[in-house]
A = this chain, B = another copy of it.
Amino acid sequence: MKLTTAGESHGRALVGIIEGLPANLGIDVSLINADLALRQSGYGRGGRQKIENDRIEVLSGVRNKLTLGSPLAFAIINSDYANWEKYMSAGDCDVTARTLTKVRPGHADLTGLKKFGQTDARNVLERASARETAVRVAAGSIAKQYLAALGVRVGGRVISVCGVKDEGIYPFERLAEAKEGKLFMIDKAAEERAAALIDELKAAGDTAGCVAEVRVHGLKSGFGSCMTYGEKLDGRLAGALMGVQAVKGVEIGLGFAAADLPGSRVHDEIFSENGNFVRRTNNAGGIEGGMSNGEEIVVRAAMKPIPTLMRGLNTVDYLTGESCRAAGERSDVAAVCAFETIAESVAAFVVAQAVAERLGGDDMAQVVERYERL
């Protein structure tokens, strides 16, 4: 299973192609659109999310709500494109407007200008933008439907916003509560404090980051492999999550805390109960030896604060070389719920890939049967 993505932030459409889905997987488009809506939701978002209301258009690979086993191509039309066509068209267009040369710290602007031989960072930022993650959310939503057919569920929550933390530990079943709040936190008191902090930051023209936790529930053991470094499930999850715009840290299970504790307090002992091998802890976050071990997979990812600040940051104009302030524009103070949604989606896709590799199969009934026989 493989996802290829394309699309500029203000271009005609974002496009994705998923290869390697078996035939006869049911695809519920409303679930995908619900995930796309989650990506646009949440406290702290700026104006653009109100302009666009992302919806998936399936272009191929699905017929009568069932996959065909062929590549599933889809588009998410940029509904604001009508206003941008004159600046962004593939044909002749006006490239003298909407230019950006006051390169924004924390973005791809400065590096991208040099790398791609450009004089206008518009030509870089359009693709570097986190708007690209809409495609990954749609693909992740499809991956969740594939996993759900095997009884595997993916959930998540926000565990901190700009330092305001939810210290609670919750079973998988309670993750749904997170989605009911404005910042996807389960501890509603913490969520309120975080919202208040966002208000303060907004007033100060500043921005916030957050940490999201993703959990995969019900996956059997043995996905990923200890045999080659490239197959390790933890490596693949980390690579995918760190490959999301603005992510600066990823950890699994205890994560960095594991490095601070003696082995006797870290490793998940194994017990025998009714003939089964059971664990009473899950410090490993469900992965040992690069493979799922049958416990819940627990991954956390840290997003840096939004790098476009209303108050501006010191920078330099790329063309004139003069000091200036980076453009403020209307923008987000935080993208907390978006980030949690993206992290879930990206993790779901990686897990689905590992499942598809191990099970092979061309038809969903065959995939389910192989999974059950493991």
Contacts and interface: CB of A to CB of B under 8 A. Distances in A.
A288 interface: yes
A155 interface: no
A343 interface: no
Interface in A76-101: 88-93, 95
A171 interface: no
A230 interface: yes
A12 B311 CA distance: 46
A204 B64 CA distance: 38
Interface stretch (A33-41, A185-193, A250-258): A250-258
Given A103-B270, A261-B305, A322-B272, A124 B226 contact: yes
Interface string A286-319: 0011111110000000111111010101111000
A55 interface: no
In this complex, the interface size class of chain A, counting residues with CB under 8 Å from chain B, is 35 or more
A288 B111 contact: yes
A238 B248 CA distance: 9
A357 interface: yes
A28 to B, nearest CB: 10
A351 interface: no
B302 A259 contact: yes
Contact of A65 (B91, B261, B306): B91
Nearest to A369: B373
A248 B286 CA distance: 11
Interface string A231-244: 01011111111111
B209 A258 contact: yes
Nearest to A252: B248
B252 A251 contact: no
Residue among A128, A259, A264 with the highest chain B CB neighbour number at 10 A: A259
B269 A59 contact: no
Contacts of A166: none
Given A229-B5, A238-B241, A127 B70 contact: yes
28 contacts: A7-B71, A12-B58, A19-B228, A23-B123, A24-B116, A58-B90, A63-B88, A63-B126, A64-B89, A69-B115, A105-B267, A106-B263, A106-B266, A110-B277, A111-B293, A112-B222, A112-B226, A127-B227, A201-B262, A209-B266, A222-B362, A232-B243, A234-B248, A248-B254, A249-B251, A249-B256, A259-B305, A263-B307
